[in-house]
Amino acid sequence: MSVSTLSRFANKVVIVTGGASGIGQAVVRRFAAEGAIVTATDVNETGLIEGAEQVKRLATAGGRSSFVVGSVADEDSVKKIVQDVVDREGRLDALINVAGIIRSKSIIDTSLDQFMEPISTNLIGTFLFSREALPHLLKTKGNIVNTASTAAHYGHPFMAAYAASKGGVESMTKALAWEFLRQGVRVNAVAPGGIETPLSTNNQGNLADVDLTLFQRLIRPDYLWGKPDQVASIYALLASDDGGFMTGEIVKVDGGVHN
C-alpha cells in the first residue's frame, strides 16, 4: 500500500487508465493518497472494484476514487469517459496512461492481427486518451504521464510488436511535449523495467525456453523485481508541481538493471 504524507494533488482531477492491476492500481492509490479525485478505467471490472476498496482503506488527503469499465482502444468509449469526468468534476488536471498488454512471439509466427494487439492498446490507446484529454488539460495547464518501457530502448527478443508500441509511445511523448510547450501542458513518460505485476511475471514463462541468459541479463539475475508502488511515486513526481520543469522526459525506473 502506498503511504504518502504529501498532498500534491488536493482537488486535482485525474484519469488513470489501466487502473485495475499492477502499476495502474498503485498509481490510483498514490494519487488518491495525495488528495486527487481519481477516475480509474480498465477492461477488468473486478480489479477496478478491488482498487476502489484499497483507496477506501487509505488515509487520503481528501482524495477519492471512482471507476469506469472501458477499453482504451475503443474510440467512442474513450470520448465518453473523458467527457463524463469533465462534466462531473468540472475540470481535468492530469491524464495518466498506464493500460498496456504484452505479447512475446517470434515475428515469423506473428499475424497482422496479433501485431496490432499491443499497438492498439499501448499506442493507439495512449493517442485516443491524449487527444480527448488535451482540450481540457489546456484549460488547467495540466499534464500527461505516459507509460513506455525499457523494451523501447534495449532489444527485447520476441517482443517486436510490444517494443514498437512502446517506442511509439516515447516518440509521441516527445512530440506532444513540444507541441504544447508554450501552452503550459507538460507531457512525460515513465519507462518501467522488471516490475512485479501480472503482466511481467506471467510473461516470464513465454521467454523461459528462449534465451534465458539474455532474459536474465535484461531483467535481473536474482529476479528481484521492483514493486508497483516504487513506480507509482515517479508518476506522481512527474504529474505534480515538483516535476514542473520537466517535459518530454522518459524516466527509466528499472532498479538500475539497464545501465
Known catalytic residues are 162
Per CB under 6 A, the list member of 199, 206, 220, 246 interacting with ligand NAD is 199
Q: Does 243 bind ligand NAD (CB under 6 A)?
A: no
Q: Does 119 bind ligand NAD (CB under 6 A)?
A: no
> 224: buried, middle or exposed (CB in 10 Å: 19+, 13-18, 0-12)?
exposed
Q: Does 44 bind ligand NAD (CB under 6 A)?
A: yes
CA distance 212 to 201: 14
* Residue reference for cell 468509449: 77
Q: Does 200 bind ligand NAD (CB under 6 A)?
A: yes
Q: Does 51 bind ligand NAD (CB under 6 A)?
A: no
Q: Does 65 bind ligand NAD (CB under 6 A)?
A: no
Residue closest to 206 by CA, chosen among 61, 109, 71, 112? 109
Per CB under 6 A, the list member of 104, 130, 197, 247 interacting with ligand NAD is 197
Q: Does 43 bind ligand NAD (CB under 6 A)?
A: yes
User: Across the strands, what pairs with 143?
Assistant: 94, 186
Instruction: Mark the segment that binds ligand NAD (CB under 6 A) among 59-67, 68-76, 206-214, 234-242.
Output: 68-76
CA distance 179 to 135: 13
Q: What angle do CA 223, 153, 163 make, to 5 degrees?
A: 85
The contact pattern for ligand NAD, residues 153-182, with x = CB under 6 A and - = no contact, is ------------------------------
Contact 192, 169 (CB under 8 A): no
Q: Does 149 bind ligand NAD (CB under 6 A)?
A: yes
Per CB under 6 A, the list member of 13, 192, 232, 251 interacting with ligand NAD is 192
Per CB under 6 A, the list member of 13, 15, 20, 159 interacting with ligand NAD is 20
CA distance 166 to 97: 12
CA distance 111 to 143: 36
Q: Does 121 bind ligand NAD (CB under 6 A)?
A: yes
Q: Does 55 bind ligand NAD (CB under 6 A)?
A: no
Q: Does 38 bind ligand NAD (CB under 6 A)?
A: no
Instruction: Mark the segment that binds ligand NAD (CB under 6 A) among 108-116, 127-135, 188-196, 206-214.
Output: 188-196
Residues near ligand NAD, by CB under 6 A: 17-18, 20-24, 42-44, 47, 71-73, 98-102, 121-122, 125, 147, 149, 192-195, 197-200
